[in-house]
Amino acid sequence: MSETYVGIDVGGTNIKIGLFDSELELISKTSVTTDAEMGPEIVIKKMAQTVEELIAEAGLSLQDIVAVGIGTPGPAKYSEGIIIQSTNMPKFKNVPICRMLNEKLGAPVVFDNDANVACWGEYTVGAGKGVKDMVFFTLGTGIGGGIVSDGELVHGCDENAAELGHMIIYPDGRRCNCGQKGCVEAYGSADSTARRATEAIEAGAESSLKKVLDEKGKITSKDVYTHLAAGDKLAKEITDGTAKALAITCINMLHTTEPKRIIFTGGMIAAGDVLLNRIQDFFDEYIWTLKKETVEICFATLGEDTGIIGAAALARHAKQQGKLK
């Protein structure tokens, strides 16, 4: 029997599914629409059917599946395999996704938060390979995160730890979508970068970005970094604010878990070295002087397949630890 692992990355719009061998080499992958509005029964049935199709196309059988890993947005009771609620999938409330998928595929199912799953992928075969302690940030609409400490993901007492985007770095600062004030997400995410630029222009700041706002009706973080490269002063101010917020958060995480690597992923890392170097600059400026730190700040390497790789890696880890149910 071939030892095959399935990785499933569930998003509000699409579900990505991949088959992997025992070394986590990709066998095949596909993507289907989530159709979350159809409800959990139909969505989970579609997942199972898609896995069956991939298995058949690869010349394998369902008996070859050792385990299935799934990543979804939280909150959830991951040890019980239950999605409590999802903003992207409003009909998913108290859904026993692991049991339901297990009944259709006959294989054990392992479940975790999508950011944790992506973190585990980078830890296992990506930018975190070879270390025991790392911190992981996703920079997109918001900021997600994951923490690996001594070779294991950190989950916390209610299994929803590592909400790193909601660490408060500026008390009484900008209002975050979570309801708190001063979260790093309100300063360091792609959306907040664009929003701060827009607010500054609307308040009268001079910038070449004003033309973008006038013509398109909105500004993206990509626009801000493009105009930074062209020498726009407001873009410099805004992106410095983004990098500073992320650097402060790196320092806080260094003092909390002392990772060997801090890894950033998400759409905003397309900005490249101009983002990473400024994070490092602010980190070096604000870090204590009591000792020289060896933490490495870098970008993720797995790209768009991070979620399915991480999910499969999580399933394999559960097998190796004897934790498959």
The mean pLDDT value for 186-195 works out to 98
Q: State the pLDDT at residue 41.
A: 96
Residues 146 and 290 in one domain: yes
Examine the domain organization and report whether 288 and 187 are in the same domain: yes
CATH number at residue 256: 3.30.420.40
Q: In this model, does residue 102 exceed pLDDT 80?
A: yes
Has residue 226 been placed in a domain?
yes
Residues 6+ apart with CB under 8 A from 51: 6, 8, 17, 65, 68, 105
Domain of residue 77 covers: 4-121+304-320
Distance CA 225, CA 194 (A): 10
User: Is the predicted pLDDT of residue 74 greater than 80, yes or no?
Assistant: no
Q: Where are the beta strands (DSSP E) in 34-64?
A: none
Q: Are 87 and 22 in the same domain? A: yes
pLDDT (0 to 100) of residue 86: 84
Q: Do 286 and 177 share a structural domain?
A: yes
17 domain residue, yes or no: yes
In a domain, 281, yes or no: yes
Residue 217 confidence (pLDDT) above 80: yes
**In Å, how far are 15, 37, 233 from 236, measured between CA atoms?**
37, 41, 5
Element (H, E) at 240: helix 233-257
Assess if residue 325 is contained within a domain: no
- Which phi and psi angles does 83 have, rounded to 5°? -80, 120
- For residues 114 and 103, give the distance between their C-alpha atoms in angstroms, rounded to a whole number: 22
Q: What share of the chain is helix, strand, coil (3-state, %, to 5)?
A: 45, 20, 35
Considering its fold, how many domains does the chain have in total? Answer: 2
